[in-house]
Every structure is written in C-alpha cells, then in structure tokens.
Structure 1
Amino acid sequence: MSREPEWVDEEAGPVVRPYAVARGRTRSSAPEIDLLASVVASGLPVPAKAETELGAQHRRLIATVAAQARPVVELAAELELPVGVVRVLLGDLLHYGLVSVRPPLAKSTGATENLLREVINGLRAL
C-alpha cells in the first residue's frame, strides 16, 4: 500500500494543485514530447532507487499504458491532468526506462496522382 496521501477527494475532486504533482517542475527532463506521440509501458520492474521518487500519479500513468500504447494528449485526459504535468511525469518514467515514447506517424505529403485520377473519374461517372 502506498504511504503517499490521497490527492483526490471523491466529492471535491483534486485537492492538490497540478504543480505539486510534478513537484514544482514545469519542464520535462526528456526532450520535447509531442502531444500525439504514443506512450507504452516497457514492462520493466520499477528500480529500487525509483520507488521513493515515483508517486501515485507515476503509477497511474504506467497502469494506463500497460495494456496498449496511448497518445500523450489522451493520457492527460484520462488522468485529468494538464499536458505539461503529464510530460514531466513521462520524463521521470523515461529516465528509469519504465515507458517508451514513439513519435507520431508522419503525415502523408498529399494525395497521389492515382487517387486524384480516381476522384476525377468518379465525379465524371456521376
């Protein structure tokens, strides 16, 4: 059982400001993490050194991405935390190798010539 106090009251909602969750940090220790980047748990056990440094929100974050990869922005919504706080927490987890972050898929550069021809042919068929 965690010795950390409960930071959410069922009726009142969060009882601690977001910067307290991130221990006053506003920037992640990791390089910039894109909002659409996918986060997945590495499956590694939490190192003994990290036990005291990682809080309840870190554990919630790991549990949320344990089953499948999720985008950063979706994690923020799920955990009801600001994106900046989630980025700080992810930086901590990346430091210990507990999660991996994959950049978002590159957008295609545009419609291909074949696709445009099919659209034109479809419009002519109308």
Structure 2
Amino acid sequence: MPRHRVDPARGSAPTPLLPRPYAITGGRTEIRLDIAIEALVVTNAVHGQRGSQPEHDAILVRCVEPTSVAELSALLRVPIGVARVLVADLASLGLVSVSGSAGDAPSVALMERVLSGLHSL
C-alpha cells in the first residue's frame, strides 16, 4: 500500500510520498559525463525500448523533443543532480543524445557578437 502524507496547502487530500533521491540513483552522485543543466537531451531509443527504471522511461518519453536537463528535473520532480545521473545512465547506454554539455562552450567570437548586439540595444 502506498504511503501518503497530508499536505496542508491542499487541505486533507493525501499526496503520495516521493522516493528519496539516493534510492532513485542507487546512491550514485558522480556522473561519467560532464552534463550541464542547460544541456539538451533527445531520445535515440527505438519506439518501445525501455530503460532500467521508471524514471529512465519517463525521460525517454519526454525527450522525443529536445528537453533540457533542468526541465527534466522539474518534470520528474527530482533534484537536478538526480536528473543528471539518470541522463548520464541513458547516454552511456546510447538511448539519448546530449548536446550543449559543459564542454560545448560557444566561441569567443560568438560571445563578442552577442555582447555587441546587446550594447546596440
């Protein structure tokens, strides 16, 4: 039977308790990839291919369209660190592609053009 708690903001309607973050990641906090929170994630999985956890499956469904790691964190209602671990798991299995990671910094020339454009406003 699922455990519930009473949320005072919602009156007496019980809300289900969420699993602890360490239970979702198996206690892992380190990731093999340097994934920025603004990195975009897109599903590579063939229709019906599944991850090893329900959260993996939720990411695969949501990332048919490019979705940032920060958005995934909010949609899954998990801390950003947990979302990064889950995305790294799927990327290591080849089920998602991650673009815009911390290593994909824009060029200095691009940054200067953006700054120049902002100054002209």
TM-score w.r.t. length of structure 1:
0.68
Please name the residue that 1:95 is paired with: 92
What is the distance in 2 between the residues matched to 1:41 and 1:8?
33
| Structure 1 runs (4+) greater than 2 angstroms displaced | 6-15, 43-46, 104-109
For residues 87 and 61 of structure 2, the distance between their equivalents in structure 1, rounded to whole angstroms, comes to 13
Give the structure 1 partner of residue 10 of structure 2: none
- Give 1:74's aligned residue: 71
How far is the alpha carbon of 1:7 from its aligned partner? 9.1
Determine if the alignment matches structure 1 residue 24 to structure 2 residue 37.
no
Residues 23-79 of structure 1: CA distance to partner in whole angstroms, max 9, x if unpaired? 111112x32100111101013363xxxx6x71101101111112x101110110011
Q: What secondary structure is seen at the aligned counterpart in 2 of 1:20?
A: helix
Q: Give me the whole-angstrom Cα distance separating, in 2, the residues matched to 1:22 and 1:8.
A: 22
Q: Which residue of 2 aligns with 1:56?
A: 54
CA contact 1:72–1:86 (8 Å) conserved in 2: yes
TM-score (norm 2): 0.71
What is the RMSD of the two structures over their aligned residues, measured on CA atoms?
3.0
CA distance in 1: counterparts of 2:43 and 2:56, whole angstroms: 12
1:35/1:71 contact within 8 Å kept: yes
Structure 2 runs not aligned, ≥5 long: 6-12
Q: Aligned partners of 2:70 and 2:33: how far apart in 1? A: 16
Count of residue pairs brought into register by the alignment = 104
Q: Which has the larger radius of gyration?
A: 1
Q: Aligned to 2:41, what secondary structure does the other structure show?
A: strand
Q: Could you list the runs of 5+ residues in structure 1 that have no partner in the other structure?
A: 1-5, 120-126
